[in-house]
Amino acid sequence: MRKYMIAGNWKMNMLRHEASELTRNIISGVADIKHDLDILLAPPYTSLDVVRGLIEGTKIKLSAQDVFWEDRGAYTGEISPTMLLDAGCEWTIIGHSERRGILDETDSIVRKKIDASLNDGLNVIACVGETLEQRENGETIDIVKTQVESAIAGLDIDDTSRFVIAYEPVWAIGTGKNATPEQSEDVHAAIREITGNIFGQDFEQLRIIYGGSVKVDNIKELLEMENIDGALIGGAGLNADSFVKIVKMAGE
Ligand code: PEP
């Protein structure tokens, strides 16, 4: 049985006082959830310490939205895995489509970040997904296969709970147009097969979460799919009420 993960990616939103208010409301909203699931908040760097202080002693975990692959040195503007651990992060998102698309992050950069993070003790959510054009050209599985293989081939990982793949079709992110549960499940099942071929039996335990316009009214049907193990949430995670409702549905 794979443990669900619900992660809120706040992107470049939330000043510190807003982050504080949102976090407080989420903490009180999820306080009575008994079910064992991973609840993550990924604020911008500037609010990591605010959120960290508030979630201490709760079931919520802290995530970054990105990371650099070197540990220290002359890399102006970058933040290393060790620094994120020092700031209280247990997780980081890597390879989000906004970084791939807007900042030209390649598969090999994504891989360097994954290696550095896992080696230093930071857990990883690696994002993959096709654009609308790629889907319309029938290339979805090929694109995702290339991204997944590049992210994990030869990866030395003894604990699969430290590594999560987020399938995020680019055309569904922030557009209000989510992939149907069936469309998502097809890709999630393919990802499980790809990871299984690379890693063998243990990768049945790998969590594959879905991201792309997840909302209160579609989370339930997505989570009913066999290979969907949670969600990476953008817009709906900026509102405590909707984020808490989504977490509660996953916890039922
Ligand atoms: C995301 O940023 O990873 C995301 C899925 O955003 P949204 O939920 O807004 O589509």
The pLDDT tens digits for 139-166 are 999 999 999 999 998 888 878 899 999 9
The pLDDT tens digits for 20-44 are 999 999 999 999 998 899 999 999 9
* Two structure tokens written together for 134: 């790629």
| 188 labelled catalytic | no
- Reported pTM: 0.96
Cβ(47) – ligand 1 distance below 6 Å = no
210 - beta bridge partners? 167, 231
Q: To test the ligand 1 pocket, which listed residue (14, 40, 91, 214) has its Cβ within 8 A of the most ligand atoms? A: 214
Cα 66–Cα 123–Cα 200 angle in degrees, nearest 5: 120
In angstroms, the CA 186 to CA 181 distance is 9
Phi, psi angles (nearest 5°) of residue 214: -75, 135
